[in-house]
A = this chain, B = another copy of it.
């Protein structure tokens, strides 16, 4: 039986922070913002709540080729553009290809519960920059 979950000030704040931005922040950025409201909130609490919120489907975790995760307050599937230079993540307003999941189910012979798609390139601010790999 799943444990009940309490709505703490910390959890509420973290969710508010995530929903109020479109920069797909890192845990550390959320931490810095949260400290402005609850100065002694701990990074452990940030991670624990990000994990909870992800588990309940209220937020999404993004991990696109970097050593750390970013978080998205919009839990509905949508696609992203990732800048290969500055690492910033942008939302892309493209229709989600749910029909492709059916196709994959046929080929895999098993149920598909979701998919992700990310596009890579240089954002407008990073045009002309040299990037390795």
* A interface with B by C-beta (< 8 Å): 54-55, 57, 61, 63-65, 81, 84, 90, 92-94, 100-101, 103-105, 107-124, 127, 132-133
Q: A92, B119: Cβ atoms under 8 Å?
A: no
Q: A63, B65: Cβ atoms under 8 Å?
A: yes
Closest beta carbon of chain B to A94's beta carbon, Å: 7
Q: What copy number does this chain have within its complex?
A: 2
Q: B120, A117: Cβ atoms under 8 Å?
A: no
Show 14 residue pairs from A and B whose CB-CB distance is below 8 angstroms, ordered by the A residue: A55-B132, A63-B63, A81-B112, A90-B108, A92-B107, A105-B121, A109-B124, A111-B121, A111-B122, A112-B119, A113-B122, A114-B119, A114-B120, A116-B117
Q: A104, B132: Cβ atoms under 8 Å?
A: no
Provided the pairs A55-B133, A63-B63, A115-B117 are in contact, do residues A122 and B107 lie with their beta carbons within 8 angstroms? no
Query: Can you add 18 more A-B contacts, CB < 8 Å, to A57-B133, A108-B123, A115-B119?
Result: A54-B133, A55-B132, A61-B65, A63-B64, A63-B65, A81-B112, A92-B107, A94-B104, A100-B119, A105-B121, A108-B119, A110-B124, A111-B122, A113-B120, A114-B119, A114-B121, A116-B116, A116-B117
